[in-house]
């Protein structure tokens, strides 16, 4: 689900990877559909590689998104523009063991923003994970 979905430092929103070249990649905004190059000097993060710090193990972002999805029954999450207190309370409901010293309000805002973008563009699909678990017997 998160494969090929990117966050680019200095750019708002999320992007879908379209193609790669030697010095840059071509991405498309999930919100506007506008295509643009992202240069190799940009800090680019794949959502697939992001995890949230907890008191024990790190939790992959897709698992955090799944917890939000289940809490909201597939609907949108709290706005990333909510107060810091509201965001912390909400995040502790979906991930009670998150590390409050290493996960900042700015991180929680990004998670909420990204979740809502993916939800609004109908890109949240957890059946792939369930199917893979069923196939492996997990």
Looking at the DSSP assignment, which residues form a beta bridge with residue 7?
45
Q: Stretch 4-27: mean pLDDT, rounded? A: 93
Evaluate if residue 32 carries a pLDDT over 70.
yes
- Select the CATH number that applies to the domain covering 5-47 from these four: 3.30.70, 1.10.287, 3.40.50, 2.30.30: 2.30.30
**Which CATH number is 51-131 given?**
1.10.10.1650
pLDDT, mean over the chain: 91
Global model pTM greater than 0.85:
yes
Q: What is the dihedral of CA 93, 99, 102, 103, to 10 degrees?
A: -10
Could you report the per-residue pLDDT of 50-68, keeping only the tens digit for each?
A: 999 999 999 999 999 999 9
Determine if residue 108 is left, alpha or beta; phi over 0 gives left, psi from -120 to 50 gives alpha, anything else beta: alpha
The pair of three-digit structure tokens given for residue 2, joined into one six-digit string: 């998160």
Give yes or no for a contact between 1 and 126, defined as CB atoms under 8 angstroms apart: yes
Q: Where are the domains of the chain?
A: 5-47, 51-131
Q: Which residue's structure tokens are 């309000």? A: 105
Evaluate if residue 98 carries a pLDDT over 60.
yes
């Amino acid at each position: 689900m998160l494969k090929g979905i990117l966050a680019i430092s200095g750019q708002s929103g999320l992007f879908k990877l379209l193609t790669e070249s030697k010095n840059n990649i071509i991405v498309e905004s999930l919100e506007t559909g506008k295509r643009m190059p992202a240069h190799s000097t940009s800090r680019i993060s794949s959502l697939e590689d992001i995890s949230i710090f907890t008191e024990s193990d790190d939790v992959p972002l897709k698992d955090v998104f799944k917890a939000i999805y289940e809490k909201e029954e597939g609907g949108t999450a709290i706005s990333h523009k909510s107060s810091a207190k509201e965001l912390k309370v909400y995040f502790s409901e979906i991930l009670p063991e998150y590390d409050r010293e290493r996960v900042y309000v700015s991180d929680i805002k990004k998670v909420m923003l990204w979740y809502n973008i993916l939800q609004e563009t109908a890109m949240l699909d957890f059946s792939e994970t369930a199917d893979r678990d069923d196939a492996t017997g997990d």
